[in-house]
Amino acid sequence: MSHIGIDVGGTKCHGVRVDQNGVILEEVRYPTPPVAELISLLGSMFEELGASSTLGIGVPGLITADGIVKASPNMPGAYNVPVGPALREQFGISVHVENDATMAAYAEWQVGAARGARNAVMVTLGTGIGGGIVMGGELHRGANGFAGEIGHMVVQRDGIDCVCGRRGCWERYASGSALRTLSGGMSGEEVFAAAATGDAHALSVVHEFADWVAVGLASLTNICDPEVIVIGGGVVQSFATVMDEVQTSFVAALYSAEWRAHPRLAVADLGERAGAIGSALIAGRA
Ligand SMILES: [Zn+2]
C-alpha cells in the first residue's frame, strides 16, 4: 500500500509516493505556478505519481478542514481556493489538505526527529516560519484548522512589516528571509559561511538571529510545554553552526529555567521532504 503527498512551496511543488513507513518510492518536482493553475498542476502530479486511493496536500497558510485555502500570504491572489473539493471531484478519491508545516510536523512526529513524543512542536525556518503542534499524542489543529501559525506571533509591537499585513511578527526576525534583513542583504548561506571564517559582522548577525529564534522557542515552550522542539526548513542545512548559540539563548530566555525540564532542541530528520512525506502519510492514515 502506498500513499501520495504533495507539498506546495513558495517556489516549487514537491510530490512523493511513499510506503507505510514514509519511505519514498517516487518523487517529482515542478515550479509552483500562478494560483489559477495550481489545481490543474496538482492533478497532473497526482496522475504522474501513479495510482493511489488517497492524496495529501500541504499548502502554506490558513486551510479549512474541507481543504479550502482561505488565505496564503506568500502566494499572490490565493484566497478561497477549493483545492480539496476540486481534486476530490476530479478523481473521486479522498483528498486531505492541510497547512504545510502541520504536514511536516506530522512526518517528523511519525517517522522523524520527534518520533515517540507525545508533546512536540515543529518549527520550520524558511522564507517565513511555519509551525505544527502535537499535544497529548495528537496533532493540534484548533477550532478551524488554523492553529500553529507561530511565525505570526508578534514579538515586537509596531515592528517590521509582515506579509500577513501586520507588524512585528516573529518570522520577520527569525526566518531565512530575516537573516537577509538582519545582515543588510546577505543570504542565509552567505551569512553562515562568513561567520565560519570569523567575520565579525556575520558573527554578530548570527548572534542576533540566534537570540530571535530563542525568544520564540521560549514562548512556545511556555504555551505548549513540549518534550522536543524540532527545527526544520531551508535554514536548517546551516543550522548546526548556530544550534549551540540558540541552545544557550533558549535556556536564558526560558521561564524558571532552573526549575523545569528543558525541551530537547532537535534538527529535523526529513529535511525539505518532510512536508510531502507528512502529506502522504496523513492522507493514507486518515
Ligand atoms: Zn505576520
Ligand 1: centre distance to CA 76 (Å): 15
- Helix runs in the chain, H state only: 38-48, 83-91, 100-111, 171-174, 176-183, 188-196, 200-224, 240-253, 274-285
Ligand 1: centre distance to CA 167 (Å): 6
Four-residue CA torsion sign, 16, 45, 138, 255: positive
Ligand 1: centre distance to CA 149 (Å): 9
Map grid coordinates 506568500 to a residue.
74
Ligand 1: centre distance to CA 150 (Å): 9
pTM, rounded to two decimals: 0.91
Neighbours of 257 (CB within 10 A): 13
Ligand 1: centre distance to CA 171 (Å): 7
Ligand 1: centre distance to CA 168 (Å): 7
Domain 3-103+273-285, CATH number (from 3.30.420.40, 3.40.220.10, 3.40.309.10, 3.90.1150.10): 3.30.420.40
**Contact between 103 and 270 (Cβ < 8 Å):** no
Each residue's pLDDT, cut to its tens digit, for the chain (286 residues) gives: 899 999 998 889 999 999 999 999 999 999 999 999 999 999 999 999 997 889 999 998 899 999 999 988 778 888 999 999 999 999 999 999 999 999 999 999 999 999 999 999 999 998 889 999 999 999 999 998 889 999 999 999 999 999 889 999 999 999 988 999 999 999 888 998 999 899 999 999 999 999 999 999 999 999 999 999 999 987 777 777 788 889 999 999 999 988 999 999 999 999 889 999 999 999 998 6
Domain with CATH 3.30.420.40 in the chain: 3-103+273-285, 116-268
**Contact between 103 and 232 (Cβ < 8 Å):** no
Fold adopted by 116-268:
Nucleotidyltransferase; domain 5 (3.30.420)
